Chains A and B, each alone.
Chain A
Amino acid sequence: MPPGSNNPVALGRNSAAVAAPRPPSAFFARRRRNYRRFIIPAVVVVGAVIVFPWMFTVWMSAFDWKIGSVAHFVGFDNYVGLATNQRFLESIGHTFYFTLLAVVLPLVLGTIAALIFHREFPMRGVLRAVFTMPMMATPVAVALVWTMMFHPQQGVLNYLLSLVGLPPSLWVYSPTLVIPSLVMVEIWHWTPLVMLIVLGGLAALPIEPYESARLDGATEWQLFRYITLPLIAPFLVVAAVIRTIDAVKAFDTIYVISQGGPGTASETINLYLYLQAFAFYNVGNASAVVVVFFAIILALALLLLHVRQRTRWVAM
Chain B
Amino acid sequence: MTDFDRDAANAKRRKLLQAGLGAAAIGAVPGATQIVRAQGGFDWKKFKGEKIEIFLVKSPRGDLLTKYHKEFEDLTGITVGSEMIPEQQQRQKAVIEFNSGSPSFDVIALSYHVQKRQFAKNNWLTDLRPMIGDKSLAAPDLDFGDFAQGGLNYAVESDGRVMSLPFNLDPWVVYYNKEIFDAKGVAFPKTFAEMIDAAAKLNDTSKGISGFVGRGLKNANVPVWSSFLLGYGGGFVDAKGRLTTDTPEAIEAGKMYQTLLGKYGPQGVAGFNWNEAQSLFLQGKAAMWLDGIGFAQPLEDPNKSRIVGKVGYGVMPAGPKRQVSALFGDGEGISTYSKKKGPAWFYLQWASNKANQTRMLQAAAGAPVRNSAYAAAQSSADFKAPKQWVECMLASAKIAQPGLPVIVPVTEFRDTFGVALTNMINGADPAGELKKATAEFQPVLDKSEKA
User: A residues touching B (Cβ–Cβ < 8 Å)?
Assistant: 66-70, 151-154, 168, 170-175, 178, 258-264, 275, 278-281
Interface of B toward A, CB cutoff 8 Å: 88, 92, 95-96, 98-99, 118, 122, 208, 216-219, 266-272, 276, 279-280, 283, 285, 408-409, 411-412, 415, 419, 422-423, 425-426, 447-448, 451
* CB–CB A263/B423 < 8 A: yes
Do A263 and B270 touch across chains, with their CB atoms under 8 A apart?
A: yes
If A68-B122, A151-B276, A172-B271 are given as contacts, then 14 extra A-B residue pairs at C-beta distance below 8 Å, sorted by A number, are A66-B448, A66-B451, A68-B118, A153-B267, A153-B268, A154-B279, A154-B280, A173-B267, A259-B218, A262-B216, A262-B217, A263-B419, A263-B423, A264-B419
**Bound state CA distance, A178 and B270, in angstroms?**
12
Q: Is A279 in contact with B411, judged by CB distance below 8 angstroms?
A: yes
Closest to B420 in A: A263
* Sampled A-B contacts (11; CB under 8 Å): A66-B451, A152-B268, A153-B266, A154-B283, A170-B267, A178-B271, A259-B219, A262-B218, A262-B426, A263-B218, A279-B411
Docked-complex contact B451 and A280, CB < 8 angstroms: no
* Complex contact B96–A153 (CB within 8 A): no
Which residue of B is nearest A263, CB measured?
A: B422
Contacts of B448 in A (CB 8 A): 66, 69
Q: Once the chains bind, are A175 and B270 in contact (CB under 8 Å)?
A: yes
> How far is it, in angstroms, between the C-alpha of A66 and the C-alpha of B88 when the chains are bound?
18
CA A172 – CA B272 in complex, angstroms? 10
Residues of B within 8 A of A154 (CB): 279-280, 283
B208 and A153 contact, CB distance less than 8 A:
yes
Complexed CA–CA distance, A260 and B418 (Å): 12
Q: Could you tell me the distance between the alpha carbons of A168 and B208 in the complex, rounded to whole angstroms?
A: 12
Chain B residues positioned under 8 Å from A280 (CB to CB): 409, 411-412, 415
Q: How far is the CA of A261 from the CA of B409 in the complex (A)?
A: 20
Report whether A170 and B268 are in contact in the complex, using a CB–CB cutoff of 8 Å. yes
Q: Evaluate contact between B426 and A263: CB separation under 8 angstroms.
A: yes
B440 to chain A, nearest CB (A): 9
Q: Give chain A's interface secondary structure class.
A: loop
- What residues of B have a CB within 8 angstroms of the CB of A261 in the complex? 217-218, 270-271, 422
Known pairs A68-B99, A280-B412; A152 contacts B266 (CB<8 A): yes
User: How distant is A122 from chain B, measured CB to nearest CB, in Å?
Assistant: 42
Contacts of B426 in A (CB 8 A): 175, 262-263
| Complex CA–CA separation, A172 to B96 (angstroms) | 34
Decide: A153 and B415 in contact? CB cutoff 8 A.
Answer: no
User: Residue of A at shortest CB range from B422?
Assistant: A263
Q: Please tell me if the beta carbons of A262 and B118 are within 8 angstroms of each other in the complex.
A: no
Is there contact, CB below 8 Å, between A151 and B99?
Answer: no
Contact A174–B268 (Cβ < 8 Å): yes
Q: Which of A67, A154, A175, A281 has the most CB of B within 10 A?
A: A281
- For the residues of B in contact with A, the DSSP-based class is helix
Bound: A178/B426 CA distance, A: 14
What is the distance, in angstroms, from A274's C-beta to the closest C-beta of chain B?
A: 10
Whether B451 lies near A264 (C-beta < 8 A) is: no
Residues of A within 8 A of B95 (CB): 67-68, 281
Residues in A whose Cβ lies below 8 Å from that of B451: 66, 68-70
Q: How far is the CA of A170 from the CA of B269 in the complex (A)?
A: 10
List chain B residues, Cβ under 8 A from A279. 411-412, 415
User: Whole-angstrom distance between the alpha carbons of A280 and B446 in the complex?
Assistant: 15
Most buried by A among B218, B280, B411: B218
**B415 and A275 contacting across the interface, CB-CB below 8 Å:** yes
Query: Closest approach, in angstroms, between the C-beta of A265 and any C-beta of chain B?
Result: 9
Give CA–CA (A280, B95) in the complex, Å.
Answer: 11
* 7 nearest CB pairs, A to B: A173-B268, A69-B451, A173-B271, A152-B268, A262-B270, A263-B422, A170-B268
Contacts of B280 in A (CB 8 A): 153-154
Do the beta carbons of A67 and B216 come within 8 Å of each other?
A: no
How many angstroms from the CA of A41 to the CA of B96 in the assembled complex? 30
Residue of A nearest to B424 (CB): A263
Whole-angstrom CA separation of A83 from B92 in the bound complex: 28
**A258 to B219 CA separation, bound complex (whole angstroms):** 12
For residue A87, give the distance in angstroms from its CB to the closest CB of chain B. Answer: 8
Docked Cα-Cα span, A102 to B31, in Å, equals: 60
Q: What separation, in Å, do the CA atoms of A194 and B64 have in the docked complex?
A: 47
Residues of A within 8 Å of B425, CB to CB, are: 262
Using A173-B267, A280-B409 as known contacts, say yes or no to A259 and B283 having CB atoms under 8 A apart.
no
Contact B216 A152 (CB under 8 A): no
Question: How far, in angstroms, from A278 to B208 measured CA to CA in the complex?
Answer: 39
Q: Is the CB of A173 within 8 A of B270?
A: yes
Per the bound structure, the CA–CA distance linking A158 and B431 in Å amounts to: 35
- Complex-state Cα separation, A263 to B216, whole angstroms: 9
Closest to B220 in A: A259
C-alpha gap A70/B447 in the complex (Å): 11
Residue from A172, A174, A261 whose CB has the most chain B CB atoms within 10 Å: A261
B285 engages A153 (CB within 8 Å): yes
A68 to B266, CA, bound (A): 41
Q: Kindly list chain B residues whose C-beta atoms are within 8 Å of the C-beta of A278.
A: 88, 92
User: Bound complex: CA of A263 vs CA of B280, how far in Å?
Assistant: 21
List B contacts of A178 (CB < 8 A). 271
Q: Do the beta carbons of B267 and A152 come within 8 Å of each other?
A: yes
Chain B residue numbers with a CB within 8 Å of A262 are: 216-218, 270-271, 422, 425-426
Q: Report the bound CA distance from A265 to B95 in whole Å.
A: 29
Q: Which residues of A contact B88 (CB under 8 A)?
A: 278
**Which residues from chain A contact B270 at a C-beta distance below 8 Å?**
173, 175, 261-263
Query: Which residues in A have their C-beta under 8 angstroms from that of B268?
Result: 152-153, 170-171, 173-174
Residues of A within 8 A of B269 (CB): 173
CB distance from A14 to the nearest CB of B (A): 67
Query: Which residues of B lie under 8 Å from residue A258 when comparing CB positions?
Result: 271
Q: Using CB atoms, name the residue of chain B closest to A172.
A: B271
Of all chain A residues, the one with the shortest Cβ separation from B423 is: A263
Question: What's the Cα separation between A278 and B280 when bound, in Å?
Answer: 31
Closest to A171 in B: B268
Rounded to whole Å, the gap between the CB of A46 and the closest CB of chain B is 26
Contact B208 A67 (CB under 8 A): no
Collect the chain B residues with CB atoms within 8 Å of residue A259's CB.
Answer: 217-219
Cα–Cα, bound, A73→B99 (Å): 20
CB neighbours of A260 from chain B (8 A): 218
Q: Once bound together, how far apart are the Cα atoms of A303 and B279, in whole Å? A: 46
Q: How far is the CB of B274 from chain A (nearest CB, A)?
A: 13
Complex formed: what's the CA distance from A260 to B122 in Å?
Answer: 31
